[in-house]
Amino acid sequence: MDAAGRGLRESATFDRATIAGIQHAARTGVYDIRGWGAKRALPHFDDLLVLGASMSRYPLEGYRERCDTDVVLGDRHARYPLHLETPVTIAGMSFGALSGQAKEALGRGASEVGTSTTTGDGGMTSEERDQSKTLVYQYLPSRYGMNPTDLRKADAIEVVLGQGAKPGGGGMLLGQKISDRVADMRTLPPGIDQRSACRHPDWTGPDDLAIKIGELREITDWEKPIYVKVGATRTYYDVKLAVAAGADVVVVDGMQGGTAATQEVFIEHVGIPILAAIPQAAQALQELGVHRKVQLIVSGGIRTGADVAKAMALGADAVAIGTAALIALGDNDPQYAAEYEALGSAAGYYDDFQDGRDPAGITTQDPELSARLDPVRAGKLLANYLRVLTMEAQTIARACGKSHVQHLEPEDLVALTIEAAAMARVPLAGTDWIPGRER
């Protein structure tokens, strides 16, 4: 007889995963570190629906009426803003966390569809620069791999103040992934755990950020757009401060965003969902009179073209994907099911990216494993996925009567739950009620 048949009921507070976590902490005296991102259920884009056109709105015909998807990023101050063919970009993921083959594949896939990819912590690799038509260089608190020459080689610079999976916390790269090449790029010893700082060493507030942005503009002769990335927490104020400091583009990363490795307590309990952050960011930009002039990129759990369309309807100019891009490359592929089982995991569940034993060859520095990933083929897979995201968002925009995906607006959305309605600031479906807003 099973547990339910014997009248036993699992505790919602102390479920089996929670009990196992307590027992692990008691046995080891250490907290859990993992990758991937939040696993708890959170309000997300699935809690919103799009209002397609019928009588009161006029849809566009997909076979004869245009719906554009291009986006310009960074035209506030930069001499050479980015012109992308799709609003879906690739988020920063480091060489070290990812193999060189994976970084090359990201560049190949992004370039094939006319979008950008991003370096991540640890510096720029030659493979990534060579295969990325448009490459954004991340400038992080660790300064790992940072040098002015690479800054000038990049097409834009992203000053990272926080990440959605760990706002207020630094990253981790465990020793088993610190190969000689990774160590050389980061000017640190091989085989030793590397922790990234949680804040930049040469400033303590927004005034110092303005000075740093000025320095970066001078280094790059005012050619490159300057992004500022924040983890979604106090989004309204952070966006206003980023704009005041001179950002051309603001990136807001929600708590569903992935990470190579950090404390699980951060992943599951720090930050806010991107659904709640986008309206705050858009409001801040609107109040400053710079919405669509200072572009907003959002990330953290983007999976489908519907997610892209809904994010843009809430006020984003573009989105960034990380975890989804790795899955498109082949991460957690069922063909390696037996090897994932041997690691104590399973295809679709593997999140121990910090261990460096990824059989797909993506989140590893092991030369035998990383050689399994063909960057040309993986790049094609990513390009296919990016095209599907773009076409799906385009299809939704046409259904709403929009000739450009950026013309989507909150009026095109309703919410399925009171929580989502309150966070996204759109009406509950079937009503004109937005929780918290006076009628």
- Residue length, the chain? 439
Write down the residue that tokens 């002015």 correspond to: 148
Q: How high is the pLDDT of residue 399?
A: 97
* DSSP β-ladder status, 135-139 and 82-84: unpaired
Between CA 371 and CA 365 the distance in angstroms is 10
Give pLDDT, residue 195.
84
Residue whose pair of structure tokens reads 């009179």 in the numeric block: 289
**pLDDT score for 224:** 97
Nearest to residue 130, comparing CAs of 108, 110, 148? 108
- pLDDT at res. 319: 98
Structure token pair of residue 89? 């970009």
Burial 38-54, CB ≥16 within 10 A → b, else e: beeebbbbebbbbbeee
Extract the tokens encoding 282: 């858009």
pLDDT at residue 183 in the model: 87
> What string of H, E and C letters represents the secondary structure of 216-230?
HHHHCCCCCCEEEEE
Instruction: Report which secondary-structure segment, H or E, holds 73.
Output: strand 71-73
pLDDT tens digit at each of 439 positions of the chain: 787 788 889 999 999 989 999 999 999 999 888 999 999 999 999 999 999 998 888 999 988 899 999 999 999 999 999 999 999 999 999 999 999 999 999 999 999 999 999 999 989 999 999 999 999 999 998 888 888 899 999 999 999 999 999 999 988 888 889 999 998 999 889 998 888 888 898 877 888 999 999 999 999 999 999 999 999 999 999 999 999 999 999 999 999 999 999 999 999 999 999 999 999 999 999 999 999 999 999 999 999 999 999 999 999 999 999 999 999 999 999 999 999 999 999 999 999 998 999 999 999 999 999 999 999 999 999 999 999 999 999 999 999 999 999 999 999 999 999 999 999 999 999 999 999 887 6
Residue 209 is which amino acid? L
Which pLDDT belongs to residue 170? 84
**CA proximity to 395, closest of 49, 52, 44, 57:** 52
Report the SS3 class of residue 158.
strand
pLDDT at 146: 87
| pLDDT value, residue 359 | 96
Residue-level pLDDT at 4 = 79
